[in-house]
Amino acid sequence: MSPAGDAVPVSASDVEAATADTAGTPSAPGDARPPVPLARPVIGEAEERAVLEVLRSRHLSLGPRVPEFERRFAQRVGAAHGCAVSSGTAGLHLALRAVGVEDCAKEDEVVTSPFSFIATANAVLFEGATPVFVDVDPETLNVTPDAVASAVTDRTRALLPVHIFGYPADVPAMERLGLPIVEDGAQALGAVHADGVPVGGHGHSTIFAFYANKQLTTGEGGLVTTGDAAVKQRIDSERNQGRAPDMQWLDHDRLGFNYRLSDLHCALGLAQLDRLDDMLEGRDRVAAWYREALAPLVARTGLELLCEDRGGNRRSWFVYVVRVPHGVDRDRTIRALADRGIQTRPYLPAIHLFAFYRERFGFREGQFPVAEDAAARGLSLPFFPEMTQAQVQRVVEDLTAVLAP
């Protein structure tokens, strides 16, 4: 992440971390307006009190806040169990292990999306398996059940759909393939499937992430929801160096990792849960302002917005991503907006085109054209629950000046 005052980068290498509160960062020379940051967490007195109480208790880890946060979060999404972990990536790793993606041969495969944060695919590699990508739907940007089914072979060990930008993937249809499913819901807290079940509530292991730009933040951290008590028991053990609940602190009965989440993080998470409805409503409100304000630019230039809710599916707004018109240099647009004090980022790169994946698996341009187009044109605008309508209007005015002078 660039320090305050640095030029805004256009590299996609750290888009997930581009969430600094830049309220004190000056705009471009000669521009007296305060900058508009990309994201800003909602943190108030309740969060401060919650963390201070844990500090004063001196019980900073493996304490009572962890199970309380797990229970309340799982209840929120309609899951039987929750397992707090140190990050969404850690949750993906442990959830995949729990469904059998463990100590794999290279031939073992997990079908997933090339249009996601890189952790989705990296977690498959942690256990030696190979991510098999399928292209995404041009409207939802999620993988479709048909595309997933076409990639399934006798080597497929699991499916890893991503609820990209908070829009529910069609997990119920994927269930008919009869394979283990791990859901990447890192961006989808609050999203609801067409059948009325929240993302995370279908019983599959579903990971959520709590970085500072998410719908709920613990600073860093993640959580796995599951309907399976045995999966809960396994993840709880493996996150804590392989120690079972009834074992002494230096006794371990399986391979494990240090993927714990502290009481400090969970205290912050509990305070955030108390205000989650208000924060989600704030995101809905800002998204509606953007939709209305951007309508003339959409009609005039061909700028594309994320799809509307349809068929009963309901998006949970994580980021506000637009796709610049065909023929427009997205990275030049980012630089031009930065000159006006508007912080934006490319969102998201296509995983298979990262150098590491090209070199290891031989991926090339043109294999997943919809994902590649979305990656080349995706632009994340400033978006956070406490954003004002005046800030939205300013972003739209500056974007209009850049795209349609």
d(CA 291, CA 333) in angstroms, rounded, equals 19
Q: What whole-number percentage of the chain has pLDDT above 90?
A: 88
Given 214, 239, 243, 377, which residue is catalytic?
214
Residue spans in the chain of domains classed CATH 3.40.640.10: 45-274
The predicted pLDDT at position 10 comes to: 37
d(CA 146, CA 32) in angstroms, rounded, equals 52
* DSSP per-residue string spanning 338-383: HHTTB--EE---BGGGSHHHHHHH---TTSSHHHHHHHHHEEEEP-
DSSP H helix total and E strand total for the chain: 13, 11
348 backbone φψ class: left, alpha, beta (φ>0; ψ -120 to 50): beta
d(CA 217, CA 69) in angstroms, rounded, equals 12
Residue spans in the chain of domains classed CATH 3.90.1150.10: 276-344+382-403
**Is 214 annotated as catalytic?**
yes
The predicted pLDDT at position 251 comes to: 86
Sequence letter at residue 307: C
* Residues of the chain below pLDDT 50: 1-26
pLDDT in tens, 37-68: 999 999 999 999 999 999 999 999 999 999 99
The predicted pLDDT at position 29 comes to: 55
| This prediction's pTM | 0.92
| Bridge partners, residue 226, by sequence | 81
* DSSP per-residue string spanning 295-320: HHHHHHH--EEPPPP-TT-B---S-E
Sequence letter at residue 261: L
348 preceded by cis ω (within 30°)? yes
The predicted pLDDT at position 18 comes to: 44
Fold classification of 45-274 (topology level): Aspartate Aminotransferase; domain 2 (3.40.640)
**Which residues make Cβ contacts (< 8 Å) with residue 377, sequence separation at least 6?**
304, 323, 324, 325, 326, 328, 330
The predicted pLDDT at position 50 comes to: 98
From the list 178, 140, 141, 142, the residue with the least C-alpha distance to 159 is: 178
From the list 260, 232, 223, the residue with the least C-alpha distance to 80 is: 232
C-alpha distances out from residue 323 to 304, 351, 390, Å = 5, 18, 22
* CATH 3.90.1150.10 is held by the domain 276-344+382-403: yes
The predicted pLDDT at position 139 comes to: 98
The predicted pLDDT at position 3 comes to: 30
The predicted pLDDT at position 30 comes to: 54
